[in-house]
Amino acid sequence: MNEKPELLAPAGTWDSFVAAVENGADAVYLGAKALGARAFAGNFTLEEIGEAVDYAHLRGVKVFVTVNTLVKDMQMKKAADMLCFLSECGADAVIVQDIGLLHLAKDIVPDLPIHASTQMTVHNSEGVLFLEELGVKRVVLAREMSIDEIRQVRQKTNVELETFIHGALCISYSGQCLLSSVIGGRSGNRGQCAQPCRKSYELLGYEGAVSTEGPYLLSPRDLNSTDVLPKLIEAGVSSFKIEGRMKRPEYVAGVVGIYRTLIDRYFDDPESYFVSPDESLVLEQLFNREFTDAYLKGSSIGMMSREQPYSRGLVAGSVMGYNEEDRRIIAKLSAKLELGDGIGLEGMEGAGENITQMAMDGEQVTSAQAGDVVEISFGRELPEGSMIFRTMDRALMDSLKRTFTSSKPVRKVPVNIKADVVAGSSIALEMEDGDGNHVSVLSDYVVEVAQKRPTDKEQIDKQLLKLGNSVFEASSIDVNITGEVFIPIKQLNDVRNNAVSLLGAARMEKWHRSEHGKCVLPDVPCEEKSSEKPLLVVSVDTLKRLNAAIEGGADVLYVGGEFFRGRKYIDLEEAVTICKDNGRRVYVNSSRIVSEDDMGAVRELFGMAKKLEVDGVVVSNYGTYHLAMGLGLPVVADSPMNVFNVRSYAAMKKLGAASVVLSPEMSIAQVEEVAECGPVECIVHGRQDVMVSRYCMLGDLFGKKDGCIKVCEEEDFELVDEMGYYFPLLVDSDCRMHVLNSRELCMLENMDIILRAGVAAIRIEARTMDVDLVKKVTHRYRGVLDGKKAGRCKDITDGYTAGHYLRGVV
């Protein structure tokens, strides 16, 4: 049988942390006030993290701390100090996204285990192997992976694998979403996501607006893996992660408690695993946008919550009418309701209220059952037939709250107690837990010879077993008495309390690591800057665009990448020949996302690239990076790898990257700082991917029972947001959906600051550009590099943006 997976729970506040521990979590992940990917959770000060680590270790629970954002250079010293503190206080691991921070942690806190965040977009075995070779202890896999893919990765790798089992889903691959940052400057990669995916959108095709069930076209349902939990266990997952650092503590308590029960139930009797209706109802009541396990089963059909992007609770009845005089809705119930419960109405976000008055047959009642007709105080009249949802079950919430507010711990640590009691000697008490911690205590009190009524074994047992509000409970007790003795109750209590205190301290202190002294940032190895003119790079996917870019004056061509539906695959051999005949450098581009099953095709692509003697390959994830390096190919680490600071740049160069493309979320000041460390490439023109998703909206909306009808090959589609901005929507050959920015990036008018920053190459992303514009745009940038006047962006594009170069991100 597989080992029992760790149950990993979220904590955004101290109450949530206690709720997780007391309801059966094996480990808890939490974030500091800065540098965590959920900046809007309550989060913890460093002092509170230290207290949490001790609290958890006392109870046999691990604590992982999220430092899983991209880190600005000016924040790196603060990040280093945090890493040193986390190591010293005994944190069990640090969760990171930034490859530079990962290398820093390995340098300054080598004893602190590292977990690779899902923000690193690791979704194939090559990516896991890459991180394994760097010494990462655990990889948090992309949420988009199926159980079969997880199983394949497990069979090819040795590090721990973690996967999400419950909670909110992102529509985009984590680490690859720029939508929040391009709309309002709040970067999801920096923990500041404004959740634009939960807003309403309209889908436009050739014939205008497409009719949909609801307007929330990018809002997924919540993940619920209770039905497939056995398959995940059998796939070899090491840790089951619950999402929810921004959820209330009652949510954490309830979800953790149910998954604790389900995991234990499976290991007690795998063949009889089940999920009870009551357990399912509790999960629905706590929070749901409806549930899905779609990705785990290898499909994304039916995973969206298009009608509403918020928790809907459980159906509790329907509206029959309205009592205008008393301002009450008249409702027939289909579920129990009580005073204090929260109710919401169908399709009315923010319309929820707590029940303060409820009447039946003219009499005030405190509760009503399914089938009853009741009048409920409500501030507005509602259409007859409207569904009523119970958004909050007061009795359930109260019972869950008691699990983390009681002064008496729910979670206990078993201990063995042994005492030797000899007249004329101190009481010798030993206490030992199941983790190898052992304490021996001698009382200050010297045991007296009994003069009248001796203290018997039953009395001694009774006092030593009174572990009260401590975390300990006795699993055995062995008291040996020599002679007739007398011991006051106070003396037994004192020696017991002393042992409890010492054992508790031992359980906490064993995890503390030695101090690192002054936490000094090591120097970053940098290269000498080149004084040569920046190269002009153009990324293309067809021979027509290739020829146009060459005619426009491109120095370097990136050929290939994702092929979008409705376009022909480029003839790679012919493309390479054209580039070489024209004296241009040529690199073979590869897809941003490459599933486990598709890695073989990429291996063949890279093999062909090597045979054609191209200048190198362009990669966008750690899996294809690892594959290319293993084949001995020069590698360009592309922008989706999120190189965001000097240390991440230096890390990629140390790992063998021939060239590095900087993150599009960097300001020009940040670019300049990294460019001081070596040659860098920046994207200066083109439509940027702001989302890439395994979910295909078009296949879901237009698909038939017998499969997808491939409307993406016949017409173009756009998403329109609430502000009237249009976001082009493309589908690649692997049926992944790409959402492009509403404005084209254009730095033509700002090339002076790009050139002053000292970049080694600028890039035009032309794969989504009309062929007739490729030559024109390339020619304009060529002119700037050759010293000519820049010209205006409006001459080469309809709508444009300077991206983050002039503003950066929060």
Contacts 24+ apart (CB under 8 A), 545-549: 545/766, 545/767, 545/769, 545/771, 545/774, 546/570, 546/575, 546/578, 546/579, 547/578, 548/771, 548/772, 548/774, 548/775, 548/778, 549/764, 549/766, 549/774, 549/775, 549/778
Whether 86 shows a pLDDT value over 90: the answer reads yes
| Phi/psi of residue 287, nearest 5 degrees | -175, 125
Count CB atoms within 10 A of the CB of residue 686.
22
Residue pair 640/664 in contact by the 8 Å Cβ criterion? no
The b-or-e profile of 442-453 (16+ CB within 10 A means b, else e) is: ebeeebbeeeee
* Amino acid 568: pLDDT: 79
Please give the Cα distance from 610 to 639 (Å, whole number). 23
Q: In angstroms, rounded to a whole number, what is the distance separating the alpha carbons of residues 105 and 137? A: 13
pLDDT digit string, tens, across residues 259-313: 999 999 999 999 999 999 999 999 999 998 999 998 999 988 889 999 889 888 8
Confidence bin at 34 (pLDDT 50/70/90): confident
Are the CB atoms for 425 and 446 separated by under 8 Å? Answer: yes
For residue 141, give both structure tokens. Answer: 């896999």
Rounded Cα distance between 748 and 682, Å, is: 13
| Alpha carbon 292 to its chain's center | 17
With tokens 């924040």, the residue in question is 75
C-alpha to C-alpha distance for 63 and 56, rounded to whole angstroms? 7
> Looking at the DSSP assignment, which residues form a beta bridge with residue 337?
368
For residues 114 and 105, the answer to whether their CB atoms sit within 8 Å is: yes
- 3-class DSSP state of 432: strand
How does pLDDT run across 435-460, given as a tens digit for each residue?
999 999 999 999 999 988 999 999 99
Spatial strand order in the sheet of 438-446: 438-446, 426-433, 413-422, 472-482
737-740 vs 726-731, strand pairing mode: antiparallel
The helix (H) or strand (E) run that includes residue 459 is helix 457-464
Which of 179, 171, 170, 173 is CA-nearest to residue 743?
A: 179
Per-residue confidence band for 407, with pLDDT thresholds at 50, 70 and 90: confident
Non-local (6+) Cβ contacts of 22 within 8 A are 253, 403, 404, 409, 410, 411
- Order of strands across the sheet with 744-746? 659-660, 635-637, 616-619, 585-589, 556-560, 535-540, 761-765, 681-686, 744-746, 800-801
Residue 39, pLDDT above cutoff 80: no
CA distance 229 to 755: 54
Residue 416 φ/ψ region, left for φ over 0, alpha for ψ in the -120 to 50 degree band, beta for the rest:
beta
Q: What is the pLDDT of residue 163?
A: 98
Query: Residue 517: which pLDDT band, with cuts at 50, 70 and 90?
Result: low
Structure pTM? 0.95
pLDDT over 80 at 566, yes or no: no
In sequence order, the β-bridge partners of residue 730 are 738
Per the rule left: phi > 0, alpha: psi between -120 and 50, beta: everything else, 768 is: alpha
Rounded-to-integer distance, Cα 280 and Cα 192, Å: 32
User: Across residues 716-739, what is the average pLDDT?
Assistant: 96
Query: Cα 205 to chain center, whole Å?
Result: 33
Separation CA 353–CA 351 (nearest Å): 7
Average predicted confidence (pLDDT) for the chain: 94
Question: What is the pLDDT at residue 704?
Answer: 81
Per-position DSSP letters for 561-584, written without gaps between them: SSPBTTSPPP-HHHHHHHHHHTT-
Q: Which pLDDT score, from 0 to 100, does residue 35 have?
A: 74
Residue found by looking up tokens 């690779």 in the block: 116
Report the alpha-carbon distance of residue 585 to residue 779 in Å, rounded.
17
- How far is residue 645 from each of residues 99, 218, 619, 662, measured CA to CA in Å? 10, 31, 19, 9
Beta strands in 182-311 (DSSP E): 202-205, 208-209, 222-224, 239-242, 291-292
Write the DSSP symbol of residue 186.
-
Residues 140/116, Cβ–Cβ less than 8 Å: yes
220-to-696, 712, 777 alpha-carbon distances in Å: 12, 21, 38
Indicate whether 95 pLDDT > 80: yes
Tens digit of each residue's pLDDT (9 = 90 or more) over 666-717: 999 999 999 999 999 999 999 999 999 999 999 999 988 778 888 998 889 9
pLDDT, one tens digit per residue, over 204-228 is 999 899 999 899 999 999 999 999 9
Contact 776, 797 (CB under 8 A): no
Residue with tokens 């030992």: 432
How far, in Å, CA of 572 to CA of 567, rounded? 15
For residue 655, what pLDDT is reported?
A: 97
Tell me how crowded residue 393 is: count the other CB atoms within 10 A of its CB.
26
Least Cα distance to 526 among 728, 302, 677, 308 occurs for: 677
- Is the per-residue pLDDT at 143 higher than 80? yes
Contacts of 688 (CB under 8 A, 6+ apart): 178, 182, 664, 740, 741, 745, 765, 803
d(CA 177, CA 663): 12
- 348 band by pLDDT with thresholds 50, 70 and 90: low
Query: Span 460-486, mean pLDDT?
Result: 95
Q: What separation in angstroms does the CA of 613 have from each of 335, 587, 616, 660, 661?
A: 70, 10, 8, 20, 22
Amino acid in the structure at residue 368:
A
**pLDDT computed for residue 207 by the predictor:** 87
Q: How many Å from the N-terminal Cα to the C-terminal Cα in the chain?
A: 47
Residue 466, class by beta-carbon neighbours within 10 Å (0-12 exposed, 13-18 middle, 19+ buried)? middle
Neighbours of 474 (CB within 10 A): 16
**% of the chain residues with pLDDT over 90:** 86
Q: Write down all domains in the chain, each with its CATH number in brackets.
A: 6-169+220-288 (3.20.20.70), 314-405 (2.40.30.10), 413-509 (no CATH), 535-688+741-801 (3.20.20.70)
Alpha-carbon gap, residue 719 to 722, rounded angstroms: 10
Are 288 and 243 contacting, i.e. CB atoms less than 8 angstroms apart? Answer: no
Task: Give the integer Cα–Cα distance in Å for 460 and 447.
Answer: 12
Q: What is the pLDDT of residue 427?
A: 97
CA-derived radius of gyration, the chain: 31
Round to whole Å and give the CA distance between 27 and 50: 15
> Could you say which DSSP state residue 687 is in?
P
Give residue-wise pLDDT tens across range 479-504: 999 999 999 999 999 999 999 999 99
